[in-house]
């Protein structure tokens, strides 16, 4: 990446984009929290109808879809940090597509290797901008692929469960 003229306008643009990503992440966490709360309440209320012969299957449908919604919402906000972190040298790290500013990537370096990489980057404004652009890209990809993807699936699952339950109850009422 070659930046012809560094300046505060570029810094502001990157800072604003990064803040936007952080805000999107907070919104996803809040939405997942609302889904968790709602699905848990629906699950709790549905369990009491298991013994009712007329509402038994509707309750089972709601319980199953609520459990799946809870699982998807939890997975959407669960930190995606590896359990085992293999330490790398900066030369190996640099050859990969990893981002020195993204914590999920730089945890693979010990401090001395991280310091070497940061020193190299901070002494070249083109590398600083490249790292920041890569960070914005990495955050965006992470939000789309991890948080919002599973959050969307959780919403679809919850809506499908409610719709299926209501449809099942209506069919039961019509047929009896």
Residue 54 lies in a domain: yes
Domain carrying residue 158: 8-175
The model's pTM is: 0.80
Count of domains for the chain:
1
Q: Enter the tokens of residue 13.
A: 């643009």
Residue 46 pLDDT = 95
Residue 122 pLDDT = 86
Rg (CA), the chain: 24
Separation CA 4–CA 40 (nearest Å): 54
Does the pLDDT of residue 80 top 80, yes or no? no
How many residues are there in the chain? 176
Residue 29 lies in a domain: yes
Q: For residue range 17-76, what is the model confidence (pLDDT) as tens digits?
A: 888 888 999 999 999 999 999 999 999 999 999 999 889 999 999 999 999 999 999 999
Residue 88 lies in a domain: yes
What integer best gives the mean pLDDT of the chain? 87
Q: For residue range 143-160, what is the model confidence (pLDDT) as tens digits?
A: 999 899 999 999 999 999
Residue 3 lies in a domain: no
Between 4 and 132, the more confident residue is: 132
The number of beta carbons lying within 10 Å of the beta carbon of residue 28 is 20
Does the pLDDT of residue 10 top 90, yes or no? no
């Amino acid at each position: 990446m070659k930046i012809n003229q560094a300046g505060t306008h570029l810094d502001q643009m990157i800072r604003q984009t990064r803040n936007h990503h952080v805000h999107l992440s907070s919104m996803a966490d809040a939405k997942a929290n609302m889904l968790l709360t709602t699905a848990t309440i629906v699950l709790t209320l549905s369990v009491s109808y298991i013994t009712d012969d007329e509402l038994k299957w509707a309750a089972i449908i709601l319980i199953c879809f609520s459990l799946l919604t809870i699982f998807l919402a939890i997975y959407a906000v669960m930190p995606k940090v590896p359990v085992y972190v293999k330490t790398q040298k900066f030369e190996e790290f640099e050859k990969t597509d990893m981002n020195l500013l993204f914590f999920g990537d730089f945890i693979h370096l010990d401090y001395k290797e991280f310091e070497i990489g940061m020193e190299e980057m901070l002494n070249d404004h083109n590398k600083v901008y490249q790292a920041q652009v890569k960070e914005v890209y990495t955050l965006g990809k992470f939000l789309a692929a991890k948080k919002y993807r599973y959050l969307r699936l959780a919403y679809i699952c919850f809506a499908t469960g409610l719709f299926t339950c209501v449809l099942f109850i209506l069919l039961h009422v019509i047929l009896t």
